[in-house]
Protein backbone atom coordinates (compact mmCIF):
# COMPACT_ATOMS: atom_id res chain seq x y z
CA UNK A 1 0.00 0.00 0.00
CA UNK A 2 0.98 3.64 -0.33
CA UNK A 3 -0.30 7.05 0.76
CA UNK A 4 -4.10 7.09 0.62
CA UNK A 5 -5.89 10.45 0.67
CA UNK A 6 -9.48 10.33 1.90
CA UNK A 7 -11.60 13.49 1.61
CA UNK A 8 -14.55 13.51 4.00
CA UNK A 9 -17.31 16.05 4.78
CA UNK A 10 -16.19 16.96 8.29
CA UNK A 11 -14.60 16.07 11.61
CA UNK A 12 -17.31 13.63 12.66
CA UNK A 13 -16.71 11.43 9.62
CA UNK A 14 -12.94 11.75 9.99
CA UNK A 15 -13.10 10.76 13.66
CA UNK A 16 -15.27 7.75 12.85
CA UNK A 17 -13.03 6.45 10.05
CA UNK A 18 -9.85 6.84 12.11
CA UNK A 19 -11.56 5.13 15.05
CA UNK A 20 -12.58 2.29 12.73
CA UNK A 21 -8.91 1.65 11.94
CA UNK A 22 -7.92 1.75 15.61
CA UNK A 23 -10.83 -0.42 16.70
CA UNK A 24 -10.02 -3.02 14.03
CA UNK A 25 -6.38 -3.04 15.21
CA UNK A 26 -7.22 -3.37 18.92
CA UNK A 27 -9.70 -6.17 18.27
CA UNK A 28 -7.17 -8.00 16.12
CA UNK A 29 -4.26 -7.29 18.49
CA UNK A 30 -5.39 -6.44 22.05
CA UNK A 31 -1.85 -5.41 23.08
CA UNK A 32 -1.57 -2.97 20.17
CA UNK A 33 0.87 -0.06 20.43
CA UNK A 34 -0.71 3.30 19.59
CA UNK A 35 1.21 6.46 18.76
CA UNK A 36 -0.65 9.39 20.29
CA UNK A 37 -0.60 12.95 18.95
CA UNK A 38 -1.83 16.11 20.65
CA UNK A 39 -3.28 19.31 19.21
CA UNK A 40 -6.76 19.90 17.86
CA UNK A 41 -6.63 17.52 14.88
CA UNK A 42 -6.80 14.20 16.77
CA UNK A 43 -9.58 15.29 19.16
CA UNK A 44 -12.46 13.91 17.04
CA UNK A 45 -10.63 10.57 16.96
CA UNK A 46 -10.21 10.46 20.74
CA UNK A 47 -13.84 11.54 21.26
CA UNK A 48 -15.07 8.71 19.06
CA UNK A 49 -12.82 6.12 20.71
CA UNK A 50 -14.06 7.23 24.15
CA UNK A 51 -17.64 6.98 22.94
CA UNK A 52 -17.06 3.43 21.70
CA UNK A 53 -15.39 2.50 24.97
CA UNK A 54 -18.34 3.91 26.94
CA UNK A 55 -20.68 1.86 24.77
CA UNK A 56 -18.97 -1.22 26.18
CA UNK A 57 -17.46 -2.68 23.05
CA UNK A 58 -13.86 -1.51 22.97
CA UNK A 59 -11.17 -2.70 25.39
CA UNK A 60 -7.81 -0.91 25.73
CA UNK A 61 -6.69 -2.75 28.88
CA UNK A 62 -3.74 -4.45 27.16
CA UNK A 63 -2.84 -1.62 24.78
CA UNK A 64 0.16 0.71 25.01
CA UNK A 65 0.35 4.39 24.09
CA UNK A 66 3.39 6.49 23.15
CA UNK A 67 3.14 10.26 22.84
CA UNK A 68 4.82 11.96 19.91
CA UNK A 69 6.46 14.79 21.76
CA UNK A 70 6.79 16.92 24.88
CA UNK A 71 7.76 20.44 25.82
CA UNK A 72 11.09 20.99 27.55
CA UNK A 73 10.98 22.87 30.84
CA UNK A 74 7.35 22.59 31.94
CA UNK A 75 6.97 21.42 35.52
CA UNK A 76 5.49 17.97 36.18
CA UNK A 77 1.72 18.07 36.00
CA UNK A 78 1.55 21.33 34.01
CA UNK A 79 -1.87 21.27 32.29
CA UNK A 80 -0.35 21.97 28.88
CA UNK A 81 2.38 19.34 29.12
CA UNK A 82 1.57 16.77 26.47
CA UNK A 83 1.60 13.97 29.00
CA UNK A 84 -1.30 15.72 30.76
CA UNK A 85 -3.08 16.58 27.51
CA UNK A 86 -2.97 12.94 26.38
CA UNK A 87 -4.37 11.85 29.75
CA UNK A 88 -7.12 14.46 29.67
CA UNK A 89 -8.17 14.02 26.06
CA UNK A 90 -7.85 10.26 25.70
CA UNK A 91 -6.25 7.83 28.13
CA UNK A 92 -8.24 8.86 31.22
CA UNK A 93 -11.42 8.35 29.18
CA UNK A 94 -10.75 4.69 28.39
CA UNK A 95 -9.34 1.71 30.32
CA UNK A 96 -5.74 1.83 29.12
CA UNK A 97 -3.44 1.28 32.10
CA UNK A 98 -1.56 4.42 33.22
CA UNK A 99 1.71 2.49 33.35
CA UNK A 100 1.25 1.61 29.67
CA UNK A 101 1.12 5.27 28.59
CA UNK A 102 4.51 6.76 27.83
CA UNK A 103 5.85 10.15 26.82
CA UNK A 104 9.28 11.66 26.19
CA UNK A 105 10.80 13.13 29.34
CA UNK A 106 11.11 16.86 28.73
CA UNK A 107 12.23 17.44 32.35
CA UNK A 108 15.19 15.05 32.30
CA UNK A 109 18.57 16.40 33.38
CA UNK A 110 20.19 14.44 30.55
CA UNK A 111 17.83 15.03 27.62
CA UNK A 112 20.00 13.18 25.13
CA UNK A 113 19.93 10.03 27.24
CA UNK A 114 16.19 10.44 27.79
CA UNK A 115 15.67 10.55 24.01
CA UNK A 116 17.57 7.29 23.56
CA UNK A 117 15.61 5.73 26.43
CA UNK A 118 12.38 6.64 24.63
CA UNK A 119 13.53 5.02 21.41
CA UNK A 120 14.47 1.91 23.39
CA UNK A 121 11.07 1.84 25.13
CA UNK A 122 9.25 1.88 21.78
CA UNK A 123 11.42 -0.95 20.48
CA UNK A 124 10.92 -2.95 23.68
CA UNK A 125 7.18 -3.31 22.99
CA UNK A 126 7.68 -4.20 19.35
CA UNK A 127 7.25 -0.77 17.76
CA UNK A 128 4.20 1.39 17.06
CA UNK A 129 1.36 -0.35 15.24
CA UNK A 130 -0.66 2.77 14.41
CA UNK A 131 0.55 6.34 14.71
CA UNK A 132 -1.99 9.17 14.87
CA UNK A 133 -0.70 12.46 13.46
CA UNK A 134 -1.78 16.01 12.88
CA UNK A 135 0.14 18.41 10.66
CA UNK A 136 1.26 21.96 11.33
CA UNK A 137 0.58 24.90 9.04
CA UNK A 138 4.24 24.67 7.96
CA UNK A 139 4.03 20.94 7.31
CA UNK A 140 5.59 19.73 10.55
CA UNK A 141 4.61 16.40 12.10
CA UNK A 142 5.41 15.81 15.72
CA UNK A 143 7.69 18.78 16.35
CA UNK A 144 9.84 18.04 13.32
CA UNK A 145 10.06 21.60 12.08
CA UNK A 146 11.02 22.59 8.51
CA UNK A 147 14.57 21.50 7.82
CA UNK A 148 14.37 18.40 10.02
CA UNK A 149 16.42 15.43 8.91
CA UNK A 150 14.23 12.90 7.13
CA UNK A 151 16.09 10.14 8.98
CA UNK A 152 15.95 11.78 12.43
CA UNK A 153 15.24 9.91 15.66
CA UNK A 154 13.82 11.16 18.99
CA UNK A 155 15.74 14.31 19.88
CA UNK A 156 15.63 17.91 21.15
CA UNK A 157 14.27 20.53 18.74
CA UNK A 158 13.97 24.33 18.83
CA UNK A 159 10.51 25.55 17.84
CA UNK A 160 10.15 28.10 15.07
CA UNK A 161 8.16 31.21 15.95
CA UNK A 162 5.17 30.21 13.80
CA UNK A 163 4.72 27.03 15.83
CA UNK A 164 4.98 28.97 19.08
CA UNK A 165 2.36 31.43 17.79
CA UNK A 166 0.10 28.55 16.72
CA UNK A 167 0.39 26.97 20.17
CA UNK A 168 0.05 30.19 22.16
CA UNK A 169 -3.74 29.69 22.28
CA UNK A 170 -3.17 26.91 24.80
CA UNK A 171 -1.18 29.18 27.15
CA UNK A 172 -1.80 32.52 28.87
CA UNK A 173 0.52 34.21 26.40
CA UNK A 174 3.17 33.38 23.83
CA UNK A 175 5.79 34.20 26.45
CA UNK A 176 4.72 31.03 28.29
CA UNK A 177 5.24 28.75 25.28
CA UNK A 178 8.55 26.88 25.63
CA UNK A 179 11.21 27.32 22.97
CA UNK A 180 12.38 23.70 23.06
CA UNK A 181 10.76 20.29 22.80
CA UNK A 182 11.61 16.62 22.71
CA UNK A 183 10.05 14.91 19.71
CA UNK A 184 10.03 11.61 17.92
CA UNK A 185 12.04 12.00 14.76
CA UNK A 186 10.82 11.48 11.22
CA UNK A 187 12.69 8.19 11.07
CA UNK A 188 10.97 7.12 14.29
CA UNK A 189 7.54 8.04 12.90
CA UNK A 190 8.29 6.18 9.66
CA UNK A 191 8.89 2.99 11.66
CA UNK A 192 5.19 2.88 12.64
CA UNK A 193 3.40 0.17 10.69
CA UNK A 194 0.39 2.37 9.88
CA UNK A 195 0.21 6.17 9.99
CA UNK A 196 -3.15 7.99 10.15
CA UNK A 197 -2.83 11.75 9.66
CA UNK A 198 -5.78 14.08 10.26
CA UNK A 199 -5.96 17.61 8.82
CA UNK A 200 -8.99 19.89 8.92
CA UNK A 201 -9.70 23.50 8.05
CA UNK A 202 -8.65 25.92 5.31
CA UNK A 203 -5.56 26.94 7.30
CA UNK A 204 -4.11 23.47 6.61
CA UNK A 205 -4.81 23.46 2.86
CA UNK A 206 -1.35 24.71 1.83
CA UNK A 207 0.43 22.22 4.08
CA UNK A 208 -1.74 19.36 2.81
CA UNK A 209 -1.01 20.23 -0.81
CA UNK A 210 2.71 20.57 -0.10
CA UNK A 211 3.14 17.24 1.68
CA UNK A 212 0.74 15.19 -0.46
CA UNK A 213 1.57 16.51 -3.93
CA UNK A 214 4.83 18.40 -3.51
CA UNK A 215 8.37 17.02 -3.49
CA UNK A 216 9.74 14.95 -0.64
CA UNK A 217 11.89 17.56 1.06
CA UNK A 218 13.04 18.55 4.54
CA UNK A 219 11.39 21.97 4.16
CA UNK A 220 8.04 20.12 4.50
CA UNK A 221 8.62 17.39 7.05
CA UNK A 222 5.30 15.60 6.46
CA UNK A 223 6.28 14.96 2.82
CA UNK A 224 8.33 11.98 4.06
CA UNK A 225 4.98 10.18 4.41
CA UNK A 226 4.95 9.82 0.62
CA UNK A 227 7.57 7.13 1.29
CA UNK A 228 5.55 5.30 3.95
CA UNK A 229 4.15 1.88 2.98
CA UNK A 230 0.81 2.47 4.76
CA UNK A 231 -0.15 6.12 5.30
CA UNK A 232 -3.80 7.19 5.48
CA UNK A 233 -4.45 10.93 5.12
CA UNK A 234 -7.89 12.03 6.35
CA UNK A 235 -8.88 15.57 5.36
CA UNK A 236 -12.06 17.63 5.23
CA UNK A 237 -13.14 19.61 2.18
CA UNK A 238 -11.47 22.80 3.39
CA UNK A 239 -8.10 21.15 4.01
CA UNK A 240 -8.37 19.42 0.61
CA UNK A 241 -9.23 22.63 -1.25
CA UNK A 242 -5.76 23.14 -2.78
CA UNK A 243 -5.19 19.54 -3.94
CA UNK A 244 -4.86 19.27 -7.72
CA UNK A 245 -5.88 15.61 -7.70
CA UNK A 246 -8.81 15.95 -5.26
CA UNK A 247 -11.32 14.49 -7.72
CA UNK A 248 -9.04 11.51 -8.33
CA UNK A 249 -8.70 10.86 -4.60
CA UNK A 250 -12.50 10.95 -4.23
CA UNK A 251 -12.94 8.56 -7.17
CA UNK A 252 -10.30 6.19 -5.82
CA UNK A 253 -11.88 6.06 -2.37
CA UNK A 254 -15.42 5.67 -3.73
CA UNK A 255 -14.28 2.66 -5.74
CA UNK A 256 -11.94 1.14 -3.19
CA UNK A 257 -12.14 -2.66 -2.90
CA UNK A 258 -13.39 -3.83 0.50
CA UNK A 259 -10.43 -6.20 0.87
CA UNK A 260 -8.02 -3.27 1.05
CA UNK A 261 -9.32 -2.23 4.48
CA UNK A 262 -8.44 1.10 6.08
Residues labelled catalytic: 69, 138, 140, 145
Closest CA to 164 of 125, 203, 137: 137
The alpha helices in 36-181, defined as continuous H runs, are: 43-54, 82-89, 111-124, 161-167
Closest CA to 262 of 10, 61, 9, 27: 27
DSSP 156-203: EEEPPHHHHHHHGGGSSSGGGS-SEEEE--HHHHHTSSEEEEEE-SGG
3-state helix, strand, coil in the chain (%, to 5): 40, 20, 40
Calculate the alpha carbon distances from 129 to 5, 33, 160, 230, 238 in Å: 20, 5, 30, 11, 29
Contact yes or no for 241/205 (Cβ under 8 A): yes
What element of type H or E holds 12?
A: helix 11-28
Amino acid sequence: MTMEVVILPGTKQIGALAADAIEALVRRKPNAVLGLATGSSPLPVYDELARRYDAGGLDFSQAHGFALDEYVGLEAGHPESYREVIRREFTNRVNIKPENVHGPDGAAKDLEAACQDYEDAIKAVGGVDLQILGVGTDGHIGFNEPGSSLASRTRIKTLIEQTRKDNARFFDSIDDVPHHVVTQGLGTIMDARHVVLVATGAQKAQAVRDFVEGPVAAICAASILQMHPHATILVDEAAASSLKLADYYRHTYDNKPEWQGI
